[in-house]
Amino acid sequence: QYRPPPVSHTNFPKGFLFGSATASYQVEGAWNDTDKGESIWDHITHNNPNFIAEQQNGDIADDSFHKFKEDIRIMKDIGFKSYRFSISWPRVLPTGKVADGYSKTGLNYYTELIDELLANGIEPLVTLYHWDLPQALQEERGGWLNPNISDYFADYADFMFSKFAPKVKYWITINEPLSIVNGYGDDARAPALKELHGIGEYVAGHNLLLAHSKAYKLYQDKYSHNLGKISMAFCGSYCAPASDSVEDIEAAERCYQFTFGWFIHPVLKGDYHPLLRSIIDENSQWEGRKTSRLPYFSQQEIDQLKGSADFLGLNYYTMLLAKPGLAGLDPSDQRDSRVVTLWDPSWKPTVASWLRVAPEGLRMLLNKVKNDYGNPEVLITENGYPDDGSDPLNDTERINYYETHFAAIRQAIYEDGCNVVGHTSWSLMDNFEWRDGYKAKFGIFSVDFNSPNRTRTMKKSAYWLKNYIAMHDYL
Ligand code: PNW
């Protein structure tokens, strides 16, 4: 049974990078400012409004495009040492391609944002892709399904490195490949190509991995004298076995390999984990296909992928219990995994159906990556709690969430020897929560979406974090 350490202790390693996180489409707004290109999220929210709760969209969102200086003021006031944000690809490259020219206003926005962060002593953690693909690239042979897309992404990454490598020390190429592929075999995200299930998610995932490895190599070849570190941000719900039985223990391992492992394993080891390879190959054969639904890497691609991360970015929200069984569309990654999941009744539900409060899973995940991959450096790139904002500033459940998750991280560091260097809370402020629109709120600042000013107000959790970080700085 999990017992958190005394909550009064805020001991983290010196220099621990406390911060907060957002993403371009979720906070920026200014969706058509000057020459910005359309993204797949602009496109789907405008053309299929029912895709989003209450027919909402990110046209204005938190208006961070105009209010970034205020955002930096409030994060500085909390005491955050870092800010994780993402660059909107179509804001900088309207068609997605460097050859077609870049937007001066778009580039200028990120230059000012980064300079303002540095001037305030806040480390920029820059994500190059947090789901807002240029619509033009989606229309050209299916976005992440296009065999050319990894080169377009590498060109884009090269362009951004050429502008910001001297200023940015932490880069995330791609946020949550596992979530992105949900748009290419399911309708959980744009472009919502559910009909491709069983194939589309693996092809998109394959191209995401190639895109990442090309960007990584480019940095090593041309920009490594800047001493920056690069990773992806990986995600999943951490899976523990539903019982001590061998079957359940094996199911939990499959669950891990079909979520976090799908992408972490190739990035560190060069190729898909043998479990994925053998299961998907066998299923494909059994279905009478000539080729596996999971594409193969060439030897050259394997060599390039292997070791293409200087640290691991991990997004952790929740956990699941796993046992053998069939779920999901037939075929699909979930079905291939032969795992069904359940919740421990002691985990408190939240307004998000997929998220229950289970801090012990974070400690287990940190131990899993420590043991499986030789204790890599880990940055927790997302972690947070949603509510419905009915008592907007009095968010004691969010405080409890951070308190228990910080405790789990400290146990992982001090009792288990895990190498965790930072944590960015999702999110600095309430924002456009994808298909849930503005209904699910993750911010430590509330935002008044009825006011043209999009007024930001500190919640109780922001006060709590401010004290927590101040105490840590003092110790
Ligand atoms: C993240 N899971 O997605 C995204 O990176 C954010 O943009 C988003 O706002 C945030 O979570 C809150 O939803 C996730 O199943 C999707 O474990 C799914 C999972 C985790 C994170």
pLDDT tens-digit map of 302-354: 999 999 999 999 999 999 999 999 999 999 999 999 999 999 999 999 999 99
Residue 8 has pLDDT above 50, yes or no: no
pLDDT tens for residues 82-100?
999 999 999 999 999 999 9
**How far is the centre of ligand 1, averaged over its atoms, from the C-alpha of 300 (Å)?**
32
Residue nearest to atom 3 of ligand 1 (CA): 179
Is 201 annotated in the active site?
Answer: no
Q: How far apart are CA 314 and CA 176, in angstroms?
A: 9
**pTM of this prediction?**
0.97
- Residues 148 and 155 sit within 8 Å (Cβ to Cβ): no
Is 176 annotated in the active site?
Answer: yes
Q: How far apart are CA 280 and CA 264, in angstroms?
A: 18
Asked whether 23 lines ligand 1 (CB < 6 A), one says: yes
Tell me whether residue 415 is exposed, middle or buried, using C-beta atoms within 10 angstroms of its C-beta: 0 to 12, 13 to 18, 19 or more.
exposed
The whole-number average pLDDT for the span 36-58 is 98
| Atom from ligand 1 closest to the CA of residue 318 | 17
Q: State CA 215 to chain mean position distance.
A: 17
Residue 7 has pLDDT above 70, yes or no: no
**Mean pLDDT value across the chain:** 97
Structure ipTM over 0.85, yes or no: yes
pLDDT of res. 9 = 56
The whole-number average pLDDT for the span 125-138 is 99
The whole-number average pLDDT for the span 207-212 is 99
Residue 1 has pLDDT above 80, yes or no: no
DSSP 91-111: HHSTTS-GGG---HHHHHHHH
- Residues 209 and 296 sit within 8 Å (Cβ to Cβ): no
**How far is the centre of ligand 1, averaged over its atoms, from the C-alpha of 261 (Å)?**
17
pLDDT tens for residues 374-409?
999 999 999 999 999 999 999 999 999 999 999 999
The one-letter amino acid code at 474 reads Y
